[in-house]
Structure formats: structure tokens, C-alpha cells
Amino acid sequence: MIALPPAAASATRLSREAAGIPTPPERIVHLGLGAFHRAHQAWYTAHATDADEWGIIAFTGRSRDLVDRLGPQDGLYTLVERAADRDRYEVVPSIVRVEAGDDVAGFVAAVADPRIAILTLTITEAGYRLSADGTPNLEEAAAASDVESLRNAFTRDAPGDATDAARPATALGRVLLALDARRRAGAGPIALLPCDNLPDNGGLLRRALADLAGRTSPDLAEWLGKSISVVSTSIDRITPAIDAEAESHAVLEATGWLDTAPVVTEPFSDWVLEGDFPAGRPDWESAGARFVDEIAPWENRKLWMLNGAHTVLATFGQSRGHTVVSAAIDDPLCRDLVEALWDDDARQLPGFDLADYRAALLERFRNPRIEHRLAQIAQDSTTKMRLRIVPVALGELASGHQAPGCAAAIAAWMLGVRAGWAPVPDGIDQTALADLDASARHALLAALDARLADDAGFAARVADAVTALETS
């Protein structure tokens, strides 16, 4: 990687010319530029042995903020790996161009370029705008409008007319428009790589695009089936929100670079991928990525253990007076809840030796210099519980186990909901939760999964856990 100048060096605005960093050719397009992409996929690309062959064109979500900050720096930024005892600084050179997310024509042209081999996405879970069944949520005005405008645009004969006629408001609408332009240009196959924290994110994206194409263009739907590969991924690197001004000052003090767009992340990183890249890809294995035949177990390990523990800490830790993960995990009661959940998880992850992974998670959670705020993690906790705790509980019960860790985790969530630290599920009155009596507990359990609510034995264990936590 790039050697940074010593702290005593005179302050210089970070740029490729100033740092003597060459520009790799544009081979990847990314949609949803933010801190996580820069800490994860861009970092892996920069660390690949063939990094000099793979430059990234990065489009923001909607804000121009990163365009204004990263553009003058030629896409360069300082990545700060924040360990418990020190910071490590490096300049990441893989992003070669930064564009605004609302530049639809520019995004379409980039994806349609035959030199582009991969389109990566970090548009957040909400950015997919999907219904519960995984299809585009056409009850949303933006999604419904996109379907109509794309259908009209795709009926035009001239290749450029579709882009001129449609300006999709949703991320998937823009992706579909760009893929149609690639089809019309005869630019060849491309791999799509979603990097959002969703189970089966590749399958989800494939089905959503197929549904949209089926509603808008039979020709495009047929082409998608033959010419795109959608890769599933499991991604992991804690990247907290930061005070950009303060971190820029710290980077200047440590390195001598004037950098208005630094990123702070933890030293740990993990990336597991399943799928094909018909037009080639970087040698991400050389940077530590892992390619597997079946990603579901790896997704479950991360989702149930890291994210599940985070949800437990976020919903209960605030009731104990904690504000960040590092403080909550050092609370013996919170840590016992996490360890009990991990015991349940382990029985549902039989293919893994989890001792080292559990130890690594505890070390990561205890890093006091990564301020992972519980209030942020607690947002949308009902959905998170459904994804991270409920599948383990159902698996345990189906296997003849009692799922005590999951029962305690759900009890902790109930107490967090009652106290207002976590959102109340839709359709439930906050005032009905005052005593967390049998009726309130049943309603909350049913909001997670009706099967759990109807299991008398499991409901009783949740009730006992509520009582134990209330009196602890």
C-alpha cells in the first residue's frame, strides 16, 4: 500500500499527483458510496495483488457531499484502522472517480461501458424498497412510478431514448435502466455484487430485478437471465459514524495530509462470496476474501452471532445505562445474555468450530475506541429480531432444544421496547406494555413470529426470563 509521509511533513491536500499514486483503469462501478464501501469493498480491491488493474467509479446515494469532498482528492481518502491501543493510517487508491447518485445518465453510461466487469451496491436494506415477499413494493409511489416510466422508455426503438425518457427515482430502477443500456450496447455480461446486510442478498437482488424486468421489458428479462451473474456476499467490518472534522484534524496531525473524507473502521474485516464473475474480477482472495460454494452458513454465522448480539446489547444495554457496545459487553448481565444466545447459535451452526470466532467477537465488541452506539443499532429492532433471533429459536425448538438463549434475548428486547429504547412493533399500543403481562408478551411474540407465540413452553421461558431480568 501507499506509504504516508511522516507527521512532521508540511500539510498537503491529498491528491494523486501529490502522493504519486497512479490511476488504475475503470473496471468496477459502485452505487451507494459511503463509509462502509470505502472501509470494505474498496479496501479489499486496493489490497488485491492486481489492484493496479481495477479502478472503481463510485456513485453516491443522493447527496453530493462526498462528491465535493472526494472529487478534489481524486477519490483518495485515509482509512484509519482504530484498534484498542492505536490507530493505523493508510491511503486507499482504488476509487478513481466520484459521481453524484442523481446523475442517472452518467451512471447508465458507466454501467454500459464494455470495460466495466462488476457493479457493486451498498444501498442499505431500505434502499431495495421490497415487499415482504421480496418483490418490488409497488405500493410506494416512487417504485410504482419507476415501473411505469421504465415500461414506456423501454418501448422506444433508439438505444439512447430509454435513458432520455426515464429518470428512475429508486436504486433498482436506475440499475435496471443501466443494464438495459448495456444490453442495447452489446457490452457483454456483467456481475452484480450486492454488499448490504441482508440474507441471500444475491438471490434477493436477482429476483427483484427479474420481477422489474418482467413488468417493463420482455427482451431485457430474457437478457438478464443469460448475461448477468448476481453474487451473494457476507460482509463484516464495523465502521461507525464519525466527526469528520475532528478525524480530518487527527489525520493531518498524524500524517501531514489534508484529507476532508477520512474513514474510521476496526482492524477486523471479513468477506465471503458465492457466485461467478463472467467478465473477470480482482484477486480479492489475496486480500483475505473467501469464495465458497454455499454462503448461507457463513451469512447465518455473522447475522445470528454478530448482529444478533448487537441487537440484544442495543435493546437491553440502554436499560442498564449504557450508550455504546464496548460498555454494554463489559456489563456481566449483558455479556451473559450474549453468551447464552451464542450457545443456541452454535447448535444451529454445526459446521463451524466457533471458539475462535466467539473470542474475536468479544475482542471486537470491547474495543472502546470504536463508538458503536446502541441507539443506532436499536433502530428497526423488530425486523432485526425476526432475522437474527427468530430463525435460531425456531431451529432450536424443531431440534428438541428449549432455546433458552433466544428466550432471554427476546425477553431483553421486550424490556427494551417497554422502556422506549427500541421501537414498538406496528399495531401494538405502548400503554398496553406497562406491565408486560401475558397478553402483552403474547402480542410482542406474535409480532416476531406466530409460531413462537403459540408455543406454550417457549412463551413460559420468555416470561421467566422477563422476570429474571426485571429483578436483576
Report the C-alpha gap between 308 and 300 in whole angstroms.
10
Report the C-alpha gap between 63 and 102 in whole angstroms.
8
Cell of 419: 422502556
Q: Of 132-136, 349-353, 400-404, which gets the smallest average pLDDT?
A: 132-136
Query: How sure is the predictor about 7, in pLDDT bands with cuts at 50, 70 and 90?
Result: very low
Whole-number pLDDT of residue 10: 59
pLDDT digits (tens, 9 = 90+) for 115-151: 999 999 999 888 899 887 888 999 999 999 999 999 9
Report the C-alpha gap between 381 and 205 in whole angstroms.
23
Sign of torsion over alpha carbons 83, 89, 94, 99: positive
List, in sequence order, every residue forming a beta bridge with 273; answer none if it has no partner.
233, 291
Report the C-alpha gap between 217 and 472 in whole angstroms.
60
Residue with cell 442517472: 104
Predicted TM-score of the model (pTM): 0.89
C-alpha distances (whole Å) from 444 to each of 414, 416, 429 are 7, 12, 11
Query: Could you tell me which residue, 9 or 23, shows the higher pLDDT?
Result: 23
Sign of torsion over alpha carbons 280, 282, 286, 291: negative
Mean residue pLDDT across the chain: 93
List, in sequence order, every residue forming a beta bridge with 79; answer none if it has no partner.
90, 263
CB 197 within 8 A of CB 124: no
Report the C-alpha gap between 263 and 279 in whole angstroms.
30
2 pLDDT above the threshold of 50: no
pLDDT digits (tens, 9 = 90+) for 212-264: 999 999 999 999 999 999 999 999 999 988 899 999 999 999 999 999 999 99
- Residues whose CB is less than 8 angstroms from the CB of residue 228 and which lie 6 or more positions away in sequence, other chains included: 179, 189, 190, 191, 192, 209
* Mean pLDDT, rounded, for 446-454: 97
Whole-number pLDDT of residue 5: 45
300 pLDDT above the threshold of 50: yes
* Mean pLDDT, rounded, for 184-207: 95
Report the C-alpha gap between 43 and 38 in whole angstroms.
6
Q: Phi/psi of residue 120, each to 5°?
A: -105, 155
Report the C-alpha gap between 301 and 401 in whole angstroms.
19
Work out the percent of the chain whose per-residue pLDDT is above 70.
96
CB 322 within 8 A of CB 340: no
At CA 207, angle to CA 205 and CA 211, rounded to 5? 115
Query: How sure is the predictor about 4, in pLDDT bands with cuts at 50, 70 and 90?
Result: very low
Q: What is the CB-side half-sphere exposure of residue 362 using CA atoms within 13 A?
A: 15
Report the C-alpha gap between 235 and 291 in whole angstroms.
12
* 145: helix, strand or coil: helix
Whole-number pLDDT of residue 162: 61
Whole-number pLDDT of residue 472: 86
Query: How sure is the predictor about 165, in pLDDT bands with cuts at 50, 70 and 90?
Result: low
pLDDT digits (tens, 9 = 90+) for 407-429: 999 999 999 999 999 999 999 99
Whole-number pLDDT of residue 197: 84
